[in-house]
């Protein structure tokens, strides 16, 4: 199935060169979780600080247990600091 993956800030380095506007459409196996996608792209789970699925925050327990669906948009930000 296909989803859209968006990675921001320092996580952008995990996107392929073909990505546009920090986003890429990817094929994933059915029943994949957010952590499956995170792991497959070489992102350390500690770096995936904020994970949002279709505009809704996913707490860590959902990232491991909730299967993604065709057409989902998965957005991930690293921890950020500043003022």
Q: Residue 35 maps to which CATH number?
A: 3.10.20.30
Residue 66: inside a domain? yes
82 assigned to some structural domain: no
> Model's pTM, two decimal places?
0.93
Q: What's the number of domains the chain is made of?
A: 1
Confidence of residue 83 (pLDDT cuts 50, 70, 90): low
Domain hosting residue 31, numbered range: 2-77
Q: Could you tell me if residue 27 is inside a domain?
A: yes
Q: Rounded to whole angstroms, how far apart are CA atoms 73 and 15?
A: 15
Give CA separation, 24 vs 35, 62, 81, in Å: 17, 22, 26
Indicate whether 49 belongs to any domain: yes
Predicted confidence (pLDDT) per residue in 37-80, tens digit = 999 999 999 999 999 999 999 999 999 999 999 999 999 999 98
Q: Kindly report the average pLDDT of the chain as a whole number.
A: 95
Q: Give me the mean pLDDT over the 12-19 stretch.
A: 92
Q: Is residue 46 part of a domain?
A: yes
Residue 83 domain-assigned (yes or no): no
pLDDT at 35: 98
């Amino acid at each position: 199935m296909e989803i859209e993956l968006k990675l921001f800030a320092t996580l952008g380095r995990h996107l392929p060169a073909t990505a546009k506007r920090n986003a890429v459409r990817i094929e994933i196996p059915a029943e994949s979780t957010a952590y499956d996608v995170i792991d497959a792209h070489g992102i350390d789970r500690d770096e995936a600080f904020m994970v949002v699925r279709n505009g809704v925050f996913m707490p860590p327990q959902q990232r491991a247990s909730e299967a993604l669906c065709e057409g989902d948009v998965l957005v991930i930000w690293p921890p950020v600091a500043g003022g």
